[in-house]
Amino acid sequence: MATVTFENVSKRYGDVVAVDDLNLDIRDAEFMVLVGPSGCGKTTSLRMIAGLEEITDGTLRIGERIINDVPPKDRDIAMVFQSYALYPHMTIRDNLAFGLKLRHIPRVQIDARVKEAAAILDLTRYLDRKPRELSGGQRQRVALGRAIVREPEVFLMDEPLSNLDAKLRVETRANILRLHQRLNTTFVYVTHDQIEAMTMGTRIAVMNEGRLQQVGTPQELYDRPINRFVAGFIGSPAMNFATVEFTSGNEANALQGSSISAPLPPQFRESVGASGRQLIIGFRPEHLVLGPISGGSAVVNAKAEVVEYLGNEELIHASGAGRDIVALIDSSFRVRPGDMLELRIPLDRVQLFDPDTNFALPFGPVTA
């Protein structure tokens, strides 16, 4: 069982708290992505699993075994780093075999594992070449191959795609996912790129400033972010936010802000609190619609300032609701700078946040 369990794990460097009281259960054979902005503690968390960083507090387990004091070589993990230095004077075959030779694995077994890894990664025809005779993407696959031949219980990867150009990144991303399906092993994958996280993760752990914010499937994080940080970090372009006030009247309950108004979305009926409360409303660019929609909606009035044509869609930067609003809409509307827009958001897509705690208001049933 290759589960990885963080129990109240902290890592401090003097006064710097790199990882603060982390609790995270990584399941057997899952593809767990750690994501967050630079400096949030992703690499430190991964290096603690690898045994390259001492744990200041808490307990770290692989399976049932506590590994706090187990040396890296006895942990049955393999790590792929962002910089994947290969030995330039060795062939690809020898680069793949090197770690196994150090471990005194029998020659026949080494040959078999190298052959299999090369086949999985489509490197068979390059085995007798030197690293300089390969493209960047092929070299990256060799780095993955070095990890595969180890046959570890857990793969650890720290931004392994960041040295590749955009096209190769997409290809290699798919390769790593295929590898995961084929090996059916636990992967822990670090990236600062939320798109990589969304496309690759079985589940995603979002971190900020050393603290775990939320763990969930990509869809859970997209649909139900727990706080403003996760709401703004997951999704591209980022979620729009605006200040509104809740008013409860005889006729209707409503949210009202500068250039934005909405009936109270039914999912917040239980959690909205008292009339007069200030709230932050959140809505995603792709959920804004020009023109009428069926069912209840929030309405935003905004003036288009910049229009980026993307083919089938247009990205509109507009001013409204007291701030910049970004909308992704069908390009057939042919919005021009200066146009006054009436944008609508389906009520079930609206998020609300407490301005003091930044936590999302809990969702109740969406239906009336």
Ligand X SMILES: Nc1ncnc2c1ncn2[C@@H]1O[C@H](COP(=O)(O)OP(=O)(O)OP(=O)(O)O)[C@@H](O)[C@H]1O
How far apart are the C-alpha atoms of 236 and 198, rounded to whole Å? Answer: 11
Among ligand X, Mg ion, none, partner that 51 touches (CB below 5 to 8 angstroms by kind) = none
How far apart are the C-alpha atoms of 147 and 71, rounded to whole Å? Answer: 18
Q: At what angle do helices 136-148 and 92-102 cross, to 10 degrees?
A: 20
Among ligand X, Mg ion, none, partner that 119 touches (CB below 5 to 8 angstroms by kind) = none
**The one segment of 43-51, 60-68, 70-78, 97-105 that binds Mg ion by CB under 5 A:** 43-51
Residue with Cβ nearer ligand X (56 or 243)? 56
Residue with Cβ nearer ligand X (43 or 213)? 43
Q: Is 44 in the site for Mg ion (CB under 5 A)?
A: no
Whether the CB-CB separation of 162 and 82 falls below 8 Å is answered with yes
Among Mg ion, ligand X, none, partner that 44 touches (CB below 5 to 8 angstroms by kind) = ligand X
Q: Residue 221 CB, nearest distance to ligand X (Å)?
A: 18
Q: Residue 40 CB, nearest distance to ligand X (Å)?
A: 4
Residue with Cβ nearer ligand X (58 or 346)? 58
| CA nearest to 141, candidates 125, 197, 192 | 125
Residue with Cβ nearer ligand X (213 or 240)? 213
How far apart are the C-alpha atoms of 95 and 143, rounded to whole Å? Answer: 9
Residue with Cβ nearer Mg ion (43 or 259)? 43
How far apart are the C-alpha atoms of 274 and 227, rounded to whole Å? Answer: 20
How far apart are the C-alpha atoms of 279 and 228, rounded to whole Å? Answer: 12
Q: Residue 211 CB, nearest distance to ligand X (Å)?
A: 11
Q: Residue 79 CB, nearest distance to ligand X (Å)?
A: 13
Q: Is 43 in the site for Mg ion (CB under 5 A)?
A: yes
How far apart are the C-alpha atoms of 277 and 156, rounded to whole Å? Answer: 46
Task: Show contacts with Mg ion in window 114-143 (CB under 5 A).
Answer: none
Q: Residue 137 CB, nearest distance to Mg ion (Å)?
A: 21
Among ligand X, Mg ion, none, partner that 40 touches (CB below 5 to 8 angstroms by kind) = ligand X
Amino acid at 339: D
**The one segment of 26-34, 39-47, 147-155, 195-203 that binds Mg ion by CB under 5 A:** 39-47
Q: Residue 193 CB, nearest distance to Mg ion (Å)?
A: 12
| CA nearest to 144, candidates 125, 161, 129 | 161
Supply the DSSP string of 76-131, one letter for each residue: -EEEE-SS----TTS-HHHHHHHHHHHTT--HHHHHHHHHHHHHHTT-GGGTTS-G
Residue with Cβ nearer Mg ion (44 or 175)? 44
What the block records as the tokens of 328 is 């992704």
Q: Residue 203 CB, nearest distance to ligand X (Å)?
A: 18
Q: Residue 208 CB, nearest distance to Mg ion (Å)?
A: 14
How far apart are the C-alpha atoms of 246 and 265, rounded to whole Å? Answer: 11
- Quick one: DSSP state of residue 252? -
Residue with Cβ nearer ligand X (56 or 199)? 56
| Residue 104 backbone class (left: φ over 0; alpha: ψ -120 to 50; beta: rest) | left
Positions that interact with ligand X (CB under 6 A)? 13, 16, 18, 36, 38-44, 192
* Cβ contacts of 119 within 8 Å, gap of 6 or more: none
**The one segment of 41-49, 52-60, 87-95, 251-259 that binds Mg ion by CB under 5 A:** 41-49
Residue with Cβ nearer ligand X (40 or 114)? 40
Among ligand X, Mg ion, none, partner that 357 touches (CB below 5 to 8 angstroms by kind) = none
* Contact footprint for Mg ion (CB under 5 A): 43
